[in-house]
Amino acid sequence: MKTPTRILVLFCLLTLLVQGQNNIEEKIENLLSQMTIDEKIGQLQQGFNGSDNIENGIVNGKFGSFLNAGDIETKIEYQKLAVNESRLGIPLIFGRDVIHGYRTVFPIPLGQSATWNPDLVKKAAEIAAYEASEQGIHWTFAPMIDIARDPRWGRIAESPGEDPYLVSVMAKAMVEGFQGESLSNKNSIAACAKHFAGYGAAEGGRDYNTTLIPENELRNIYLRPFKAAKDAGVATYMSAFNDLNGVPTSGNKFTLKQVLRNEWGFDGFVVSDWGSMVEMINHGYCESETDVAKVAIEAGVDMEMVSQAYANELKKLIEEGLVDIEYLNTAVKNILRVKFRLGLFDNPFPEYEGESALLKSENLEFAKKVAHESLVLLKNDNVLPLSNTLNKIAVIGPLANSGRDQNGTWAPDGKSEDAVTPLTALRERFNDRIVYEAGLKTSRSTDIDNDAVLKAVQQSDVVLLFVGEEEIIAGEAKSRAFLNFPGKQKELIELVSQSNKPTIMIILAGRPLTFSAEAELVDAILFAWHPGTMGGPAIADVLFGDYSPSGKLPVTFPRTVGQVPYYYNHRNTGRPAPITYEADIPLGTPLNPKDFVSNYLDVPNSPEYPFGFGLSYAEFEYDDLSLSSTKIAPEENILVSLEVTNKSDIQADEIIQLYIRDRVGSITRPVKELKDFKKETFSPNETKIITFTIDKEDLSFYNYENKLVVEPGKFDIWVGPNSAEGLHAEFIVK
Ligand code: NOJ
């Protein structure tokens, strides 16, 4: 297409878009003008399957939405009541937690992030939307994009990890996947960026706990993925449970009004989290339900999930002149806008085709691919990949055959019986060459069947040991003060190691765990997260060399829980940090100023496995880092290039990561920050030239006055296979 024609087409498209939006605004105004105050308040209420008097309520316009409404027939019945029998026929919007798949379950979001492959993550969300939309779901409470730096927090499983850049990339991918080309497409569902904001910084890693985050840290770290979601067109946001700097996020004018509406121009709607509005009473921020309704509506919460402060109190508040009706009108408009964008007024009912969309074979195949790429190889003493010709293979451990656990947290529509477990996949490949003995019933069990385990191990050539944590102890309200393997799994590993058989430990878990002692006892470690429906075949493929592992950690693995919160992009102290061991300090040592360093006496400062780390069966060499310029003006770009060579004779993927450090700032800057990455497939012995562009956005940060700035000075740049290694160069911003 010639440029003038292109411009014309673009202009026409834009005009149509603006007209469409104007059209929607007219329809909203028109509808609003017909609504009673009760009907308006009704739009703000999200009911759930346990709400009272549902049918009557729908007919009387008391609900704008439902979550967990039940099966598709129930949803159709409710929608018929809303559309055909309520006075204005406003359709309901049905929400559901479609977090990492619907019936086809993909790896938990933390595992998906370990793929560093936004295209895969986007398509996984698209498949989830496809399955869910055919079941009458219009709206998912995902993506969850809380930065999570503390593995004690169980909801780290739902997060794409600790890094603002990586989480932002994943946020965009998920929003685009769920929402498709247009929200009104039959298989698109509205996304919801949650939990807004700072929820992942819960003190002590204890769920729902207080968060204290200075504004520029909020903007530099925690808000960035939410802005990326906005830029990707996310339809809704969810406020959170946490008290943020003294103001609960479900009544927080700063995040919900100033940032989200005024600065970012968001025009969809905000839903509260489950009962989070009335929890402001427990927080000590509101006195009563009346107070809650006033605070939340004025802060900008449009829809109330489950609790009923708006339904009970808002009318009175408005009638008494204590709340301006414009707050209510704005909330209703925001909700109707999303309903119009979803096309619900024209197509309120799903095109129901029975179970047709669920578990399609090509989608299962794709789920296996996502699981492949999510697996992170942490250790390999030359035992992997295994040969297919082994005589006997022992499969041991409580997580070898647990569909429910491999599906992971927040997979309410996944079924354990659909999950192909590692045991099933391995038996399919090797039939009776597999000797299986769980050893422990669950990850928390304490009674090992020693004899049975030893018998299985002794007759085998290799041991595949499946340990970790169950789904039920990872996720919401599942914070843990210890990060070790629960139950008697350590003893199980010790028992197996007595046999001196090559042992591969496969860890299924929803969070980073600490296992340095156990790591010494095994020859290889594959970290599998909770890998979803097709986790078993994916693990088998990787163990036996059909796919070279390529996953890299989206979160730092600490050595011990005492180091957390631990994240790679921390700031420096003023002190050096040599390693000193408690046991090495001689009795009666006099105080020595040299010893006043920032470290623990009993553990090094380094992590067990750094952010971005993951091994491959191939070996990659990084060479020839060069910059197009080493001195730039703030507006200029730098082209970075290097050579990466696959030194092996197998095909493999590698994730090449670019980090920078702003040496001196008007506020101190992190010691490293991920700014870009590329995931590339390398043929055997292939060398590729990899290029990146560093631009103004990469160099900028929010300063003390919360202004986005690029400050002149020296920068470091590293390009490497993880956050702890890489080729280094420097440049200067003039
Ligand atoms: C509470 C959780 O915090 C939130 O993430 C979820 O979407 C809602 N419950 C609805 O189930």
Q: What is the mean pLDDT of the chain?
A: 95
Query: Residue 523 has which token pair?
Result: 């020859």
Alpha helices of 300-360 — where are they, by DSSP H?
309-319, 325-341
In the sheet that holds 713-722, the strands lie side by side as 631-632, 725-733, 713-722, 652-662, 673-682
- Give residue 89 CA to ligand 1 midpoint distance, Å: 28
Q: Ligand 1: which of 67, 208, 273 to mutate, judged by most atoms within 8 Å of the beta carbon?
A: 273
The pLDDT tens digits of the residues spanning 218-263 come to 999 999 999 999 999 999 999 999 999 999 999 999 999 999 999 9
Judge if the beta carbon of residue 327 lies within 6 A of ligand 1: no
Residues in the chain, how many?
Answer: 734
Which of 97, 243, 273, 541 is catalytic? The answer is 273
- 9: pLDDT strictly greater than 60: no
Looking at residue 581, its pLDDT comes to 66
Rounded to whole angstroms, how far apart are CA atoms 287 and 276?
A: 14
Looking at residue 584, its pLDDT comes to 73
Query: Residue 557 has which token pair?
Result: 């693995």
- Within 170-328, strands assigned E span 192-196, 236-239, 243-244, 247-248, 269-271, 304-305
The pLDDT tens digits of the residues spanning 314-331 come to 999 999 999 999 999 999
Helix or strand run (H / E) with residue 289: helix 289-299
- 151 CB-side CA count, 13 A: 27
Index of the ligand 1 atom closest to the CA of residue 99: 7
Judge if the beta carbon of residue 476 lies within 6 A of ligand 1: yes
Judge if the beta carbon of residue 141 lies within 6 A of ligand 1: yes
The pLDDT tens digits of the residues spanning 618-637 come to 999 999 999 999 999 999 99
- 71: pLDDT strictly greater than 70: yes
Beta bridge partners of 718: 659, 728
- 720: pLDDT strictly greater than 90: yes
Residue type, 626: S
**Residue 676 a catalytic site member:** no
Q: Ligand 1: which of 146, 236, 238, 239 to mutate, judged by most atoms within 8 Å of the beta carbon?
A: 238
Which residue owns the Cα nearest ligand 1 atom 9? 274
Looking at residue 255, its pLDDT comes to 98
Index of the ligand 1 atom closest to the CA of residue 241: 3
Residue type, 403: G
Judge if the beta carbon of residue 437 lies within 6 A of ligand 1: no
Judge if the beta carbon of residue 97 lies within 6 A of ligand 1: yes
- 1: pLDDT strictly greater than 60: no
Looking at residue 590, its pLDDT comes to 74
Judge if the beta carbon of residue 163 lies within 6 A of ligand 1: no
For residues 126-143, average pLDDT: 97
Ranking 1-15, 152-166, 288-302, 335-349 by mean pLDDT, the lowest is: 1-15
| DSSP SS3 for 642 | strand
The pLDDT tens digits of the residues spanning 434-467 come to 999 999 999 999 999 999 999 999 999 999 999 9
The pLDDT tens digits of the residues spanning 694-710 come to 999 999 999 999 999 99
Beta strands 701-702; 708-709: pairing state: antiparallel
Looking at residue 53, its pLDDT comes to 92
Place of tokens 């600065």: 263
Beta strands 652-662; 673-682: pairing state: antiparallel
The pLDDT tens digits of the residues spanning 525-584 come to 999 999 999 999 999 999 999 999 999 999 999 999 999 999 999 999 988 765 556 777
Rounded to whole angstroms, how far apart are CA atoms 731 and 719?
A: 14
Q: In Å, what is the CA distance from 581 to each residue of 125, 564, 566, 585, 603?
A: 47, 19, 20, 7, 7
Looking at residue 244, its pLDDT comes to 98
- What count of other Cβ atoms lies within 10 Å of the Cβ of residue 727? 16
Rounded to whole angstroms, how far apart are CA atoms 237 and 235?
A: 7
Is the Cβ–Cβ distance between 637 and 695 less than 8 Å?
yes
Judge if the beta carbon of residue 207 lies within 6 A of ligand 1: no
Looking at residue 601, its pLDDT comes to 87
pTM metric for this prediction: 0.96
Looking at residue 586, its pLDDT comes to 73
- Give residue 274 CA to ligand 1 midpoint distance, Å: 6
Which residue owns the Cα nearest ligand 1 atom 4? 273
Ranking 175-189, 527-541, 592-606 by mean pLDDT, the lowest is: 592-606
